[in-house]
Amino acid sequence: MPTGFSIDPDITLASTLDSAFYRDPAAYALARERIFAQTWQWIGDLTDVEARGSLSPRTLLPGLLDEPLLLARDTNDTLHCLSNVCTHRGNILVNEACRADQIRCGYHSRRFDLAGRMTFMPEFAEAKNFPSAADNLPRIPFGEWANCGFAAIDPAAPLSEFLRDMMARPAWLPVDRFDPAPARSRDYTIHAHWALYVDNYLEGFHIPFVHAGLNDIVDYGNYASELFRYANLQVAIARDGELAFDQPSGAPDHGRRVAAYYWWVFPNLMFNFYPWGLSLNVVQPEAIDRTRVAFRSYVWDAAKLDSGAGGALDQVEMEDEAIVEAVQRGMDSCFYRRGRYSPARESGVHHFHRLVCEFMNRR
């Protein structure tokens, strides 16, 4: 079992994560339990559970955690996040979104109310000490933001601590009114370790060398990162003549020509705010060398689509994938173990690696 991953807190002295983190199957398995099971995961928007009596099955981090969940809105208009596994013999309870006044297992007809309490079970009259609390559906840690749901198995901290800084900075944006745009959503498969994809996202250092089109839009010289406890932010400033946010007086960045806010929340959530709306990216590990990235679009101002820093997302993604897959091949080299950070340009990567080590070394 891999132990002892560490990163010097002084970026001017620090070396990057040991390549074993990206290559060792034991490290990959440990990250599942110590990183992903203890952090918050996006489980989709909540439009299909707005009405009372709504049921909607979800999967917590498909491909890695694969935990079956169920969103249920009861008659008191309270939304619950429950296990979607029957407490009798483990059958999946609900397979597609629907409306109902109870949750009924199709295997042996065990029934639950919409808050997860078991209410009926046939042929159990002789069972002793039945029912008990163990017969109710487990409640899953759950939270909401901007009509999106988030859940966790055993979170290291409340959702508010992970999202607080991101929620505060663009508070002037009407994110609750952003409209889901399924036609603009995409899933990409990258043949690389999930953390290599995150590493690449967290620095603008490569923009002039990898993204020629994006480099024409953003002012690389003024590209900056800001670090928080469980998140960091990259602020991209628009070049003269390029699309930027029209920020109201009192907004934190009023007077700056911001082309995009690139928010990352540990370990695998990316909230990219553009003048047209939000591109939410979820990095989903599927194997040690395969990652699915789900792009979900939420539109605020359709007139600004296909322009500015958020205008050519497919092209930027293809460029990112090519470089990340090349780095994956390099990680297998017997001559590479660790690199160094650019103090000027890679503070976000250093921050991410420090969090990885913090969680991986937990007991």
Tell me which H or E stretch contains 53.
none
pLDDT in tens, 36-63: 999 999 999 999 999 999 999 999 999 9
State the burial class of residue 101 (Cβ atoms within 10 Å of its Cβ: 0-12, 13-18, 19+). exposed
Residue with the bigger pLDDT between 170 and 275: it is: 275
Tokens of 263: 């928010």
Domain residue limits, the chain: 41-148, 179-360
Question: Is 80 exceeded by the pLDDT of residue 257?
Answer: yes
pLDDT in tens, 169-227: 988 999 999 999 999 999 999 999 999 999 999 998 899 999 999 989 998 898 999 99
Q: Picking from 73-87, 189-203, 304-318, which range would have the lowest pLDDT averaged per residue?
A: 304-318
**Residue 311 banded pLDDT, cuts 50, 70, 90:** confident
Closest CA to 247 of 237, 238, 257, 239: 257
Q: What is the mean pLDDT of residues 87-110?
A: 98
Q: Which fold has domain 179-360?
A: Naphthalene 1,2-dioxygenase Alpha Subunit; Chain A, domain 1 (3.90.380)
Q: What is the mean pLDDT of residues 271-298?
A: 97
**Residue 8 banded pLDDT, cuts 50, 70, 90:** very high
pLDDT in tens, 333-363: 999 999 999 999 999 999 999 999 999 998 7
pLDDT in tens, 118-141: 999 999 999 999 999 999 999 999
> What global pTM score does this model have?
0.94
| Pairwise CA distance, residues 108 & 87, whole Å | 11
Cis peptide preceding 248, ω within 30 of 0: no
Q: What is the mean pLDDT of residues 69-88?
A: 98
**Residue 2 banded pLDDT, cuts 50, 70, 90:** very low
pLDDT more than 90, % of the chain:
91
**Angle 81-82-87 from CA coordinates, rounded to 5°:** 180
**Residue 4 banded pLDDT, cuts 50, 70, 90:** low
Single-letter residue type at 146:
A
Superfamily grouping for domain 41-148:
Rieske [2Fe-2S] iron-sulphur domain (2.102.10.10)
Q: What is the mean pLDDT of residues 273-282?
A: 96
Q: Are β-strands 118-120 and 111-112 bridged in parallel, bridged antiparallel, or unpaired?
A: antiparallel
